Amino acid sequence: MKAYPHLTRPGRIGTMWLKNRMIMPAMGTNLGNADGTISDNIVNYYARRAAGGIGLVITEVCSPEHEGICIPGEMEIGDIKFMPGLSRIPHAVHANGGKVALQLAHAGCFSTEALIGTRAKTPSGIGSLQLPGENPRPFTLEEIRDLIQKYGVAAKRGRICGYDAIELHGAHGYLPLQFFSPYTNKRDDEYGGSLEKRARFALNVIREIKAQAGADFPLIYRMSGAEYVEGGFTTEMACQLAIWAQEAGADAIHVSAGTWDARIQNFFDVMAGKLSSEGLNLTDGIGTSVWVPPHYTRRGSMMHLAAEIKRHVTIPVVAVCSITPDMGEEMLAAGDADFIAFGRQTIADADFPKKLLAGRPETIRTCLRCNECLAEVMNNCGLLCAVNPEAGQEYEVYQQCLPTRAPKKVAIVGGGPAGMQAALTASERGHSVTLYEKCGRLGGQLYYASIPDFKLEFREYLDYLIRTVEAAPIEVKLGIEADVDTLKGGGYDEVIVATGAVPMTPDIIEGDKADILDPLAVLDGQITPGQSVLVCGGGLVGCEVALQLGEKGHDVTMIDLLDGIAPDMAIYSKWVLQARLAEAGVKIYAHHAITKMEKNDVTCRNLETEESVELTGDSVICCLGMRPDRALLEALIEDGSLPVTPVGDVNSARKLMQATQEGHAAARLI
């Protein structure tokens, strides 16, 4: 057993007692109703996190007025009609032993005219580089004073609804930050100019919330410890704001970083070839990725900001940003923070606080920081998770993995993530499960995906899956390639086929196909390419092979048909990947159709100029996609004697999330 005495001990924020020092920060879900009201799903989503043992749940953004929303279906509290629904969340969280804070957030320049029906309002009419088509207008003084009052009314309503605290969102470019930043605030009245005047909006909102909701009602101020834009505010300025926020009545400071425009102009200039990436440290955070860092970035990149602000205030400080339990424990022990916020980890495994309390961190389902959750939300869909098939679908019928009333003998063929998830779910329900894997190890494609150092979380998740399968009553048969006769002779009632996919070998290869390197063998170290490498294909496999080789010192050129890389990746994660490729010196020939591959040469056609381009290297790696391995599936269908269900890449080569979802769903239906 491993103890976490600091994370697991109780703490206070103002008058609010919390059973431990672990907080779930606000994260968008799109699980609410389209009209801004509360759905059964979002209530159950928050209740499930509370049931997992988290000390405090902070809701996603909730706007004090309709013009402050920036997400379709965003929660609102600008009218009493929203209160009945909003009150369901604290009732559900309290029933599961947790506390909950309502986050009040006004998007300002992040609102769009199409969404709110009018021009967005900002301190000086300055918008965001990410919304170039918008034309926001400045707030009038009367509108500022009216909005400050609306914040107070919203907080009062939140208290009446049963919330234990309010979090005022002043980070990431939301409205209090827009007023505080010299980058977005060019006013010359009482709300602009000097540092103190730019801070006035945030401080007046804090005072108004305290006046209307009560001085004893806890208020957390969430702020960026640095803005990371040219002409924006510094950490020194942020520390002064934290001091003033405490004096105005804030009971805690929650320290994040950045804004929507963080480093984005530098990024665009680097990608356009106008600027070198050298010295810019782009990978540490591009735009939104500053506070939703993917696995390409280091963990805990904002811890120093929380520690610095902690030195300037006496109220509790909350640290956030991909902090592991071990890192959080060390930070609390050192006095650099008072609480640790675990965001996407609560999505991946709602029970992780209970597992820490039990001293069993090895049983935690690791968050991959793959940002598939963010991608779903950015696509205006409801939140899902690559490793937790229940996340975002906590409505009762789906969530419950009910014991079977008629246990069956189930064979699962394929030991990748789809097969392992199916085996775990079927076993949990009480079926007798045998898992076949033709290789000598479990993992499938996840094994290769977990090899690069920048995929450490994938490695941890693979280890978790294997440990969990080994601990379950599942018979694992490694090194056995199950065929129709094997399965028919095993007396199985159901067969789940999870045989995955294999790399494609295109017809454009000339000469000996063995001269063209297999990307999986390269990742696994079975093959060492030469110094100069041509990577054919800019999908995720191609990008990560190129990145791994580039960071090892190889001279890498990547060629792809499309005008961009990794087309299925969430945009903010893609920006970070692009930045890291640039920092590794990887050259990219986008919009080039490959017409011929040979041992040391690749011929392609520039789709813009129609000119033929010949590239030469010591090695050529083919990363032009994967094809489903359907041989067993088709043989079973042809035989027709066994019920069979295909899951994962055997259906179509896709992502880990689809493998997890399909494996879980298939086993639930047996």
159/153 Cα distance (integer angstroms)? 10
CB-count burial class (<10 Å; 0-12, 13-18, 19+) for 152: buried
Other beta carbons within 10 Å of 33: 14
Catalytic residue among 163, 174, 221, 296: 174
Which residues sit opposite 614 in a β-bridge?
603
447/119 Cα distance (integer angstroms)? 49
93/45 Cα distance (integer angstroms)? 10
Q: Which residues, 6 or more positions from 249, have their beta carbon under 8 angstroms from its beta carbon?
A: 206, 207, 209, 210, 215, 219
For 566, which DSSP code?
-
Report the candidate in 425, 434, 426 with the shortest Cα–Cα distance to residue 406: 426
Angstrom CA distances, 16 to 94, 214, 336, 618, stand at 13, 13, 21, 64
449/588 Cα distance (integer angstroms)? 21
Q: Which residues, 6 or more positions from 584, have their beta carbon under 8 angstroms from its beta carbon?
A: 546, 547, 550, 551, 556
Answer yes or no: 492 catalytic.
no
DSSP E strand stretches across 77-234: 99-104, 121-122, 137-138, 165-170, 219-224
**Residues found in the chain:** 670
Task: Output the CA angle 228-231-236, nearest 5 degrees.
Answer: 65
Report the candidate in 58, 46, 72, 45 with the shortest Cα–Cα distance to residue 18: 58
Other beta carbons within 10 Å of 530: 13
Task: Write out the catalytic residue numbers.
Answer: 174
